[in-house]
């Protein structure tokens, strides 16, 4: 019998009680919006609705209404679109991930490709010389190499659970945060994003904690409890890293749990733990302890090896990351004699991936620990023509830096979702490379940046790449070439 000290709280229902807005009857969904929601048009108002497909005819209960648009949810289906797939996850519609399961994968790719082109032409207002079809992911399930789960003593209750009248003696769960609810976690039974061993590990740990005294799940609001988070990382070479984060040290209970995990899952190559007494879950500033195995994993790409530690950044879809980097390398048009700047280099994956086809690569990244990983990976592969710098991009990449290290022949830039700072764009324009390869996880900010460079550079090639099936997210690689004077 589970030992669980928790109360059934009615905060779920109280949080959802709002002023009732109109119910729209028999509305046809017509399109898909940039952020993954679908679109309906009622009179002159645009209505955004999640978890539906173009062609569905539904009733929409409005949940938010503004002057020019509204948001709502489907409450009844009159007919289903022919462009519809059966969602495969039992948590679909509640979990914040994989929101496009209702769309066949080919339709997802179509809308992602359209999103990229619309952003570049409408926001960026740039002329595109050549566009390639979006590069889809061969694996659409179990494609991630990293997931993080949260332990919570206030699991989220679905509307069906609340309406059932069931009494919940145990409110502890392990899963993902509900969007917009920082202290509520959806208890996940099976996640389709990472190799199924992750599900077995998570459920086994949950069962152990609930059936033994002294393993309370964390209360995010009151900052109390023992079990905080669980991080699982995998590699294409079969290595497996498990990181258990506790709120405080309790050596006897910590070791009992970790020994249980090690015994039940001998395939774990790195079993690590962290004691995090902070108010947030970030581990970048926390000490990592090894309980069993190595303190890192090794990923492989072509003939290169990459060391991945518990804090290291690595693209979460390994197979598609390889395809993405091949596109970037191809767009760069390297002959072996180029000086390349790799901006926002992270752990130097792209820099090391292209180094053997260049004269020299200079990588710049904000996070010092990532730069240290980049240097380690260069050394691991015997790469000696890379140079890495840590610091804020807009502060490092300036006229003085470019004059000191040389004007690059090629710049590869892979900024965060917010895109590039104006100062960085000005520095790039000063550097005046022959080619710029712009890798982006946000086509909207990419389009804005391209517009700022349009007077000096022409968009020669565009290659969308799908890194995250069943979500609206899309990567895009653009090749810019210097305009002739």
Single out the catalytic residue among 95, 98, 191, 441.
441
Neighbour count for residue 216 (Cβ, 10 Å): 20
DSSP assignment, residue 219?
A: B
Sheet containing 410-413: give its strands across: 128-131, 457-465, 475-482, 435-440, 410-413, 339-343, 360-365, 386-390
- Concatenated DSSP letters of 190-249: --SSB-THHHHHHHHHHHHHHTSTT-PBPBTTTTB-SEEEEEEEE-TTS-EEEEEEESS-
E strands, 80-138, in order? 128-131
95 is catalytic: no
Task: Output Rg (C-alpha) for the chain, integer angstroms.
Answer: 24
Neighbour count for residue 82 (Cβ, 10 Å): 9
Matching residue, tokens 């302890």: 289
By the 8 A CB rule, do 33 and 52 touch? no
Residues 406 and 252: their CA atoms lie apart, in Å, by 57
By C-alpha distance, which of 307, 298, 324, 437 is closest to 378? 307
Residues 362 and 386: their CA atoms lie apart, in Å, by 6
Strand bridging mode 360-365 / 339-343: parallel
346 φψ region: left (φ > 0), alpha (ψ -120 to 50), beta (else): left
Name 144's bridge partners: 194
Neighbour count for residue 29 (Cβ, 10 Å): 23
By the 8 A CB rule, do 459 and 128 touch? yes
Neighbour count for residue 17 (Cβ, 10 Å): 7
By the 8 A CB rule, do 30 and 58 touch? no
By C-alpha distance, which of 148, 237, 156, 154 is closest to 201? 148
By the 8 A CB rule, do 241 and 232 touch? yes
The residues annotated as belonging to the active site are 441
């Amino acid at each position: 019998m589970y030992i669980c000290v928790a109360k059934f709280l009615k905060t779920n229902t109280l949080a959802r009680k709002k002023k009732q807005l109109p119910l729209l009857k028999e509305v046809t969904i017509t399109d898909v919006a940039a952020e993954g929601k679908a679109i309906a048009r009622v009179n002159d108002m645009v209505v955004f609705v999640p978890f539906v497909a173009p062609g569905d005819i539904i009733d929409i209960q409005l949940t938010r209404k503004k002057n020019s648009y509204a948001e709502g949810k489907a409450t009844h289906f009159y007919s289903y679109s022919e462009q519809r797939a059966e969602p495969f996850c039992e948590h679909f519609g509640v979990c914040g991930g994989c929101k496009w399961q209702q769309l066949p994968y080919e339709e997802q790719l179509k809308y992602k490709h359209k999103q990229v082109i619309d952003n570049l032409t409408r926001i960026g207002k740039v002329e595109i010389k050549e566009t390639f079809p979006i590069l889809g992911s061969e694996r659409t399930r179990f494609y991630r190499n990293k997931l993080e789960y949260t332990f919570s003593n206030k699991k989220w209750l679905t509307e069906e659970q609340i309406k059932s009248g069931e009494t919940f003696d145990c409110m502890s769960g392990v899963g993902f945060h509900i969007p917009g609810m920082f202290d509520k976690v959806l208890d996940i039974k099976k996640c389709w994003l990472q190799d199924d061993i992750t599900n077995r590990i998570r459920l086994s740990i949950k069962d152990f904690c609930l059936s033994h005294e002294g393993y309370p799940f964390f209360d995010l609001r009151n900052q109390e409890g023992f079990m905080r988070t669980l991080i699982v990382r995998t590699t294409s070479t079969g290595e497996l890293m498990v990181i258990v984060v506790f709120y405080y040290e309790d050596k006897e209970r910590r070791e009992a749990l970790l020994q249980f995990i090690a015994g039940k899952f001998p395939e774990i190559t790195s079993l690590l733990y962290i004691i995090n007494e902070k108010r947030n879950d970030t581990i970048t500033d926390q000490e990592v302890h090894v309980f069993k195995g190595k303190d890192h994993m090794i990923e492989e790409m072509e003939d290169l090896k990459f060391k991945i530690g518990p804090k290291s950044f690595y693209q979460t879809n390994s197979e598609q990351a390889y395809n993405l980097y091949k596109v970037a390398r191809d767009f760069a048009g390297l002959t072996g004699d180029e000086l390349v700047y790799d901006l926002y280099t992270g752990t130097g994956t792209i820099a090391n991936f292209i180094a053997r086809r260049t004269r020299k690569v200079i990588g710049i990244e904000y996070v010092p620990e990532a730069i240290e990983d980049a240097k380690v990976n260069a050394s691991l592969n015997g790469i000696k023509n890379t140079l890495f710098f840590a610091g804020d991009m807009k502060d490092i990449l300036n006229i003085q830096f470019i004059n000191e290290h040389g004007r690059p022949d090629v710049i590869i830039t892979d900024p965060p979702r917010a895109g590039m700072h104006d100062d960085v764009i000005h520095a790039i324009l000063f550097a005046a490379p022959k080619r710029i390869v712009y890798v982006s996880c946000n086509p909207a900010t990419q389009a804005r940046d391209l517009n700022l460079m349009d007077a000096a550079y022409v968009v020669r090639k565009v290659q969308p790449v799908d890194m995250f099936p069943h979500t609206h997210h899309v990567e895009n690689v653009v090749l810019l070439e210097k305009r002739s004077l």
